[in-house]
């Protein structure tokens, strides 16, 4: 197996671990508490860093497969955009789960648009932190 494919599969496992830890925290902590909100923000930052490096591996695999050349500044923009896109997909998932709980199960909603915007902000922050780490590590 190619090294990039192995890294992609490993990163998929790490992403699954992040999602699993989020579910475990939701089950053990009251989701309407400030602690849960703070932990959620930290997990969104971690998710943004993860999404940055996951996007980086996908692009690295595509670059080797198709011999694509990308300027350095465009690489960083592409990886941060990947973190934002994965964050938006996650927020759609959260919205679908919330609507299911409200409309089908009759539970109270804990979602607000401010929560969604805040989560996307923290995903983007995580992507930018990943970019800063990667840039410094590259030097």
In the chain the first and final C-alpha atoms are separated, in Å, by 29
What's the mean pLDDT in 82-92?
89
Q: Which of 10-19, 28-37, 59-68, 93-102 has the lowest mean pLDDT?
A: 28-37
Question: Is the full-model pTM beyond 0.85?
Answer: no
| pLDDT digit string, tens, across residues 114-135 | 778 888 899 999 999 999 998 8
What's the mean pLDDT in 100-126?
80
Of 78, 8, 70, 18, the closest CA to residue 44 belongs to 18
For residue 104, give its domain range.
Answer: 3-138
Q: How many domains, in total, are found in the chain? A: 1
Q: Please tell me the predicted confidence (pLDDT) of residue 49.
A: 92
Higher pLDDT, 19 or 76: 76
pLDDT tops 80 at residue 89: yes
Of 48, 67, 80, 58, the closest CA to residue 9 belongs to 58
pLDDT tops 80 at residue 111: no
Q: What is the DSSP letter of 105?
A: S
Q: Please tell me the predicted confidence (pLDDT) of residue 129.
A: 92
Please compute Rg for the chain using Cα positions. 17
Helix boundaries (H) for the chain: 3-28, 34-66, 72-103, 113-138
| pLDDT digit string, tens, across residues 4-53 | 778 888 888 888 888 888 778 777 877 666 677 788 888 899 999 999 99
Between CA 52 and CA 126 the distance in angstroms is 8
Higher pLDDT, 30 or 103: 103
């Amino acid at each position: 197996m190619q090294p990039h494919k192995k890294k992609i599969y490993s990163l998929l496992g790490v992403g699954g671990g992040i999602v699993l830890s989020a579910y475990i925290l939701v089950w053990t902590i009251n989701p309407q508490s400030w602690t849960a909100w703070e932990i959620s923000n930290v997990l969104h930052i971690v998710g943004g860093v993860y999404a940055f490096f996951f996007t980086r591996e996908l692009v690295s695999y595509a670059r080797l497969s198709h011999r694509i050349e990308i300027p350095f500044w465009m690489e960083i923009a592409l990886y941060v955009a990947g973190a934002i896109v994965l964050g938006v997909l996650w927020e759609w998932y959260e919205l679908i789960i919330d609507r299911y709980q409200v409309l089908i199960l009759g539970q109270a909603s804990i979602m607000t648009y401010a929560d969604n915007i805040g989560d996307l902000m923290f995903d983007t922050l995580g992507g930018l932190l990943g970019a800063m780490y990667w840039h410094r590590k590259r030097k």
